[in-house]
Amino acid sequence: MQHSETTQQLPKPWYRLLYIQVILAIIGGICLGHFWPDISKDFKVLGDAFISLVKMIIAPVIFITVSTGIASMNNLKSVGRLTGKALLYFITFSTLALIIGMIVANLVHPGSGMNIDPASLDPKSIKDYIDATKEHTLTNFILNIIPTSLMSSLTGDSILQVLFVAILFGVGLSLTQEKSKPVTDFLHALSHPIFKIVDLLMRLAPIGAFGAMAFTVGKYGLAVLWNLAGLVATFYLTAIVFIVVILGLVARYNGFSIFKLLRYIKEELFLVLATSSSESALPNLMRKLEKIGCSKQVVGLVVPTGYSFNLDGTNIYMTLAALFIAQACNFPLSIEQQIMILLIAMLSSKGSAGVTGAGFITLAATLAVVKGFPVQGIALILGVDKFMSECRALTNFIGNAVATIVVAKWDNQLDKEQLSKELNT
């Protein structure tokens, strides 16, 4: 018996670790994309298929986690209190991220000296993004939270619709505790095969990572990075400072290390890096945050909500890219106009929901409001946006992981001993 227990505790061989497999897949994809770009573009289907598989399971994961979490709450006031604390955190740090992006752009001036004539830029290259901004309004965002039917939310691709229905269903279960016990028990039982499916899908992550990275490098090429290296480097360094300093201080104040947390979710981080979509790792993040000591209620409410309201990486990118375009096109922005961009970005950035490329559409929607702004200047960063997309997704993902732990602690729903144990192993 002791021998059996010892055997179970042995670490996996290095080649069976998921994050090692994903790293090797990323390297393989980069090599294929660089040396055989024509062939590599055909591998896009692998990355798309993997993301589609994960998105397929996101709705049931959120629905089960949120509804059973709320059903277990005896006092529904705690749901409102928890949501209020989460939104307070989101608004505070989203605004801080926007301000940091603006400060860095004013200090570094990454676009100065380019002297681009907006009339010389091809408006066709950004037409699709500009067209997409027409429906990117606050009113449409609010209306889109409400699904056409109770069941359609589970078959659509809107995280907020699933969250909305799950909260309503959870409240219904909570208000009819005894009568709804068979339904609650069924959902608890259903969670086991659902999360087993998540585990099985994650084994396909290296294949998805390989395809996504091969396509990206094959289509856009590594050379494009050098053309706008200043902007890309500034964005990456700003995001790193935000994670290490700002989120690091928040983590330290709340009793944990940001570096230990990053190590704990390293598999998910490499997956987000390869696919440039934080949705690809959402189910696994929820499972790991529960394992780390956050209650199911907090994880169920904070993580999905954070995917629309806590987009630190997207917010840094918004103000930094906006000022970069203005500097490159020699379009002077007054302090008042910069503040207006910041305020508009606070609203327009909500609802991007971790979808690849959404940050670019959101940027177009924000700049279109500023009178006279050379919106066609967005074409300048179109080539490197894909490379910045990875950093946006990573920063958003890490920000949501930190937010969940912090909100759990604020609401006394964090097992501190479990947190310490998991982060220190």
In this prediction, what percent of the chain has a pLDDT beyond 90? 18
Residue entry with tokens 């500097």: 327
- Rounded average pLDDT over 302-324: 86
How far apart CA 68 and CA 72 sit, in angstroms, is 6
CB distance 169 to 154 below 8 Å: no
- Residue 187 in any domain: the answer is yes
- The pLDDT, as a whole number, for residue 191 is 84
Mean pLDDT of 184-196: 88
- The model carries a pTM of 0.77
| pLDDT tens digit sequence for 214-251 | 887 787 676 655 656 778 888 999 999 999 999 999 99
Residue 6 falls within a domain, yes or no? no
Q: What is the CATH number of the domain that holds 134?
A: 1.10.3860.10
Q: Is residue 1 part of a domain?
A: no
pLDDT, position 199 = 82
Q: Which of 175-179, 182-186, 417-421 has the lowest mean pLDDT?
A: 175-179
| Sequence letter at residue 78 | S
Is the pLDDT at 263 greater than 90? The verdict is: yes
Q: Is-contact 276 26, C-beta < 8 A?
A: no
Inside any domain, residue 140:
yes
**Average pLDDT, whole number, for the chain?**
80
Residues 6+ apart with CB under 8 A from 17: 267
pLDDT per residue as tens digits for the range 1-45: 444 444 445 567 777 777 788 888 888 888 888 888 888 888 888
**Is the pLDDT score of 400 beyond 90?**
yes
Which residues are bridge partners to 294 per DSSP? 414
Give the highest mean pLDDT range of 182-196, 248-262, 303-317: 248-262
- For residue 3, tell me if it sits in a domain: no
Domain with 281 in it? 11-424
Alpha-carbon distances, residue 339 vs 107, 111, 280, 335 (angstroms) = 16, 19, 34, 6
Answer yes or no: is 148 within a domain.
Answer: yes
The better pLDDT of the pair 125, 365 is held by 365
Considering the domain boundaries, does residue 4 fall inside one?
A: no
In this prediction, residue 408 carries a pLDDT of: 93
Is residue 170 within 8 A of residue 66, CB to CB? The reply is yes
Span 362-381, pLDDT tens digits: 777 777 777 777 777 777 77
Q: Look-up: residue for tokens 């928890």?
A: 82
The pLDDT > 70 percentage for the chain reads 84
Q: What total of structural domains would you count in the chain?
A: 1
> In the prediction, which pLDDT does 41 show?
80
Q: Would 155 be classed as within a structural domain?
A: yes
